[in-house]
Amino acid sequence: MKTLRLKNNLQQFVDEIDKISGINLRDCYQCGKCSAGCPMVMQMDYPPSKLIRHIQLGEREQVLTSSTIWVCVSCLTCSTRCPKDVEIAGLMDVCRELSIKEGLATREQRKIQQFHKSFLETIRSNGRLYEVMLIAKYKLRALALFQDVAKTPKMLLTGKLKLLPHKIENVEAINKIFEECDK
């Protein structure tokens, strides 16, 4: 049987994703089981199976600017149910990393990016998550200043929100890990 090859510039994207993820995208035969079980599909521009089809066809821009990769909540239902063991949730991670590197997310999609960014920044400076700072940083970035204000008193009273961070002793080690991984 003859295998169709994409034009070089399109094939490049497929090969790139293959190489980073170690996932053989040709295994997907578009059964749609991932999309049928995806709990976030209502917010996605392409359901997971369609996103894979776009990758198979080398359509870089459609993939890396899609809301799908940011809306995916990593529940792993797709990867669990795929009859061909395509690690779809892992594929989303790879696409997110590429999309960040290339600055391709739209404004709305950036809200989720900003949340992740704020999360990692508090870890970098304390070694552990500092929830108050995470929320403050995220709210400033996403301009969601008044969200959850009503919940705050109860959380403070019960000690569920700690005003001061717990800083680990060896924050240096964490900084080094971040420097290495940012290369």
Partner 1 sequence: MKLGYYPGCALEGSSKDYSMSLERVFKEIGVELEPIQDWNCCGASAAHSTNHKLALALPARNLALAKEQELTELFAPCPFCSKTLINTNQDILDNKYKVENGNYDGKIKVINSVDIFTRLMDKIQPKVNQERLKDLKVACYYGCLLVRPPKLLKYDDPEQPTSMDEVVKKLGAQTVDWEFKIECCGGGFTVCNEDAVLELSNKILEDAQENGAQAIIVACQMCQINLDMRQTAIEKKYNVSYNMPIIYLPQLIGLAMGIEPKELGLNMHFVPTEGVTVQAQNNPV
- Give the interface with partner 1 as residue ranges (CB under 8 A): 39-40, 42-43, 71, 73-77, 79-80, 85, 89, 93-94, 96-97, 100, 111-117, 119-120, 123, 127-129, 131, 135, 138, 142, 144, 147-148, 151, 154-155, 158-162, 166, 168-170, 173-174, 177-178, 180-182
Measured between alpha carbons, how far is 115 from 138 in angstroms, rounded to an integer?
6
Complex with partner 1: residue 3 or 103, whichever CB lies closer = 103
Smallest distance, partner 1 to C-beta of residue 9, A: 25
Smallest distance, partner 1 to C-beta of residue 152, A: 11
Name the residue among 74, 51, 70 with its Cα closest to residue 62.
51
Do 10 and 50 contact (CB within 8 A), yes or no? no
In this structure, what token pair is assigned to residue 53? 């089809």
Complex with partner 1: residue 16 or 131, whichever CB lies closer = 131
Smallest distance, partner 1 to C-beta of residue 153, A: 12
Measured between alpha carbons, how far is 79 from 76 in angstroms, rounded to an integer?
5
Smallest distance, partner 1 to C-beta of residue 108, A: 10
Complex with partner 1: residue 80 or 106, whichever CB lies closer = 80
Name the residue among 61, 50, 2 with its Cα closest to residue 28.
50
Measured between alpha carbons, how far is 168 from 151 in angstroms, rounded to an integer?
28
Complex with partner 1: residue 31 or 177, whichever CB lies closer = 177
Smallest distance, partner 1 to C-beta of residue 1, A: 30
Measured between alpha carbons, how far is 45 from 108 in angstroms, rounded to an integer?
13
Complex with partner 1: residue 11 or 167, whichever CB lies closer = 167
Do 31 and 83 contact (CB within 8 A), yes or no? yes
